[in-house]
Structure 1
Amino acid sequence: MRLAKFIISSMEPILAEWEAFARTLMPEARRMSSLTLRDHAKPILTAIANDIDRSQAASQQRHEGLPVKGSTDYETPAAAHGALRRTSGFDMQQLAAEYRSMRSSVIKLWMAQLSDDDNWSLDEVLHFNEAVDLAMEQSIISYGEEVSRSRNTFLAILGHDLRSPLSAITMAGSYLHVATTLPDGKQAQIATTISRSAATMARMIKDLLDYSSTRLGKSLPLNPVRGNLATLCQLSIDEISSAHPEKQLMLSTSGDLEGVFDPDRVQQVLSNLLNNAVQHGAIDSPIRVSLKGGPESIILQVQNFGPPIAKEDIPSVFDPLVRIPTDEVSQDNWQDTSLGLGLYIARQVMIGHGGTINVESDEASGTVFTCVFPRQ
């Protein structure tokens, strides 16, 4: 059987080996779905098979003195694969290793089914290797471009988003420097401004470090210990309530809420979800937090009512550096306090715990973020 035809007819065994190898590349990959691990593997292989056929036809055309048309069908899925592998936390060496493994798998499986009567040529293997090399090149270029974009984003964030809290601290310090006397309560007000602005900057810097860790090929560090999610939820609610006393936060719990997780990271998820609910929820509507412990998982939900997230925006809610305001006020407030990384980091924390996070939003049910923590 010709190599190109074999690739198409034996697609599932090849994809199975692709997935099995990808699952061994890093610990987080063991918990990823088949869809995530395979992502663009099938269109890449299909394009490679088509490229082999075209290359053989081109060789014949050259032999006959006919013009040859080029092919770049592999570029789009291969480039997308490179970008998605970076998003999933694979490094560039692991990306290249996938192609090396795929090359070996295809040749091994193909040679195993060849018989003495099969008609094949060395040109097929040469064309196959050339197509694989070109696809890998496109994936690596795309991966590198995404890394460069991330680095440029850091500079833009540092130059813009940190400016507001830094300016507040600078102005407060200047006022203290030139003022000879302060009105009653003014010193406490200035101290509060400095403290709040410094906390905002610290949170932004922490988010940037976490973003850097995940987007440049690493996973978030976790220190899982046994604990109780209800306790962590109450701590986060108390913290948000003290900062926003005008908001009503309600907690309901049921079932066994003991589990193994990183308490600091879980509180980071809770803080991001609760701050998001405060920022985008209706002022006169409570924020409801629920915990339900089941035999296989613990489900955390944060619900708020207010302008719903548009359907077309929901797929990008957990993307980094995305800000999806529901009104003009939200947009103005968010620019001063958020880098657009909170929900992205929340998703990375959930991935690190082997769990999931998703969102549903409509007028009737409000906006509900659901986190599922599987029992270890």
Structure 2
Amino acid sequence: MRLPQFIRDNTELIVGEWETFARSLVPASDHMGPLALRNHIHQILAFVTADIESAQTDAEQVRKSHGEKPESLYPSAAEVHASLRFDGGFNMDQMVSEYRSLRASVIKLWQAAAPESGPEDMRDLIRFNEAIDQALTESICDYTKKMDLSRNLFLGILSHDLRNPLGAISMSAQLTMKIGALSERQTMLQSQISDSSFRATAIVSSLLDLTRARLGSGLPILREAMDIGFISNQLVDEMRVLHPNRDFVLTVSGDTTGDWDKARIGQVFSNLLGNAVQYGFRGAPITIRVEGMPREVVLSVHNEGVPISEDAIGTIFNALTRAPAPVDDTQRTPLTNLGLGLYISKEIVTAHGGKIWVTSSEREGTTFTAAFPRTVKTPD
């Protein structure tokens, strides 16, 4: 008997084995009845049988093996199944194991019913595995999207809700120091509380920016007339105070005024300067250039240090990614960030309609460059 017909004739038997296996996936299955455990298995089997029987060229088979499929306005049965399993508390391994069990169950039952196989049976088996793989891939993709969305929402809620208590801690510490009548040790402790809450607030703000970017809402940009050259002077002066043993060389040329988000531009500048301090050799200067061009203002931060590999350059602006540390740990500042600075910098530059990139070699050192257009292109 051909495999598609066997599946249709034995659907209830196959579905029964699916349900039995799904029920073994505790504790997620503990609260599920038969209908929930069987969700969309009939539709998945219908897709599998239809796919086996459909005509398929060699080119189509290759495209399918590469994970390509026709676009659809509606989610497939496998995608809906993944979504329901996610909502039901199944983890990824449990959901994937359902497909492994389904594959083994169908093949076992079919071989028992027809122990002798011919060329057509082998073709059916190949097409069956292709269809199961496609359904599995669709389920994994949908499950991953749901998991990412859930994680990002959690980070967003956590970051948002932590800002108020952290702000209260910081404000209380500052007010206590202003009131006075504190001993030297009490003043030192209050200062440590204030500094720690400031760093924690910065981390929370970075996580909130990460969440906004990943959820697709983008970073909020509030444009106003400003001078990037003036801001760069302020920030470099601050870095000189924070790192008195490092040499910062700033050059500003041309017209560096325009309409940008002052706080966000400062955030990009601070991230790039902090990155140079962290990964640059201590004895080498950090060179900053701000150049006013006719259509844009270009900011670059250069440091000498162990070069970034080509592979790392391709992912360095991704979230939660750090450049590899230098071999000589004495040449750098200890790691103090989450690997979000460059990712957020990229999102800020992109939100301004600009570009950011990096070049790095042992001979030339490492240079991060960000270009901010003076005007934003509007859709036609």
Matches of 1:360 and 1:343, distance apart in 2: 14
Is residue 2:184 matched to residue 1:146?
no
AA aligned to 2:310 is: K
Matches of 2:69 and 2:248, distance apart in 1: 45
Alignment deviations for residues 123-163 of structure 1 (CA, whole Å, 9 cap, x no partner): xxxxxxxxxx98998765553343245467x49x99xxx9x
Matches of 2:219 and 2:240, distance apart in 1: 28
Query: Unaligned stretches of 5+ in structure 1?
Result: 1-54, 62-68, 80-132, 174-181
- Decide whether the 8 Å contact of 1:308 with 1:326 is kept in 2: no
Q: Report the equivalent of 1:272.
A: 271
Q: Report the equivalent of 1:289.
A: 288
Alignment deviations for residues 301-351 of structure 1 (CA, whole Å, 9 cap, x no partner): 0011122222221111111111234237489822xx211111100000000
AA aligned to 1:262 is: D
The within-5 A match list for 1:350-365 is 350-365=349-364
Matches of 2:281 and 2:70, distance apart in 1: 44
Matches of 1:359 and 1:60, distance apart in 2: 49
The within-5 A match list for 1:2-13 is none
Matches of 1:360 and 1:78, distance apart in 2: 39
- Decide whether the 8 Å contact of 1:296 with 1:374 is kept in 2: yes
Bigger shift: residues 325-334 or 365-374: 325-334
Distance 1:373 1:58, change over 3 A: same
Q: Report the equivalent of 1:75.
A: 67
AA aligned to 2:54 is: S
Provide the identity percentage: 33
Relative to the length of structure 1, the TM-score reads: 0.55
Q: Report the equivalent of 2:334.
A: 333
Q: By how many angstroms is 1:266 displaced? A: 0.2
Q: By how many angstroms is 1:76 displaced? A: 5.9
Q: Report the equivalent of 1:242.
A: 241
AA aligned to 2:243 is: H
Q: Report the equivalent of 1:299.
A: 298
Q: By how many angstroms is 1:273 displaced? A: 0.6
Distance 1:251 1:290, change over 3 A: same
Query: Unaligned stretches of 5+ in structure 2?
Result: 1-49, 72-133, 174-181, 376-380
- Decide whether the 8 Å contact of 2:279 with 2:325 is kept in 1: yes
Matches of 2:312 and 2:62, distance apart in 1: 38
The within-5 A match list for 1:111-126 is none
Matches of 1:221 and 1:144, distance apart in 2: 24
Q: By how many angstroms is 1:248 displaced? A: 1.6
- Decide whether the 8 Å contact of 2:305 with 2:326 is kept in 1: no
Q: Which secondary structure state, in structure 2, belongs to the residue aligned with residue 364 of structure 1?
A: coil
Q: Which secondary structure state, in structure 2, belongs to the residue aligned with residue 312 of structure 1?
A: helix
Matches of 2:247 and 2:333, distance apart in 1: 23
Whose relative contact order is higher, 1 or 2, with alpha carbons under 8 Å and at least 6 apart?
Answer: 1
Matches of 2:339 and 2:52, distance apart in 1: 50
AA aligned to 1:190 is: L
Relative to the length of structure 2, the TM-score reads: 0.55
The within-5 A match list for 1:1-376 is 58-59=53-54, 72-73=64-65, 75=67, 140-150=142-152, 154=155, 186-327=185-326, 329=329, 333-334=334-335, 337-376=336-375
Q: Report the equivalent of 2:28.
A: none
Distance 1:186 1:305, change over 3 A: farther
Q: By how many angstroms is 1:259 displaced? A: 1.2
RMSD between aligned residues: 4.0
Matches of 2:233 and 2:70, distance apart in 1: 46
Q: By how many angstroms is 1:216 displaced? A: 1.7
- Decide whether the 8 Å contact of 2:303 with 2:366 is kept in 1: yes
Distance 1:59 1:318, change over 3 A: closer
Q: By how many angstroms is 1:299 displaced? A: 0.9
Q: By how many angstroms is 1:72 displaced? A: 4.1
Matches of 2:373 and 2:262, distance apart in 1: 15
Q: By how many angstroms is 1:78 displaced? A: 9.2
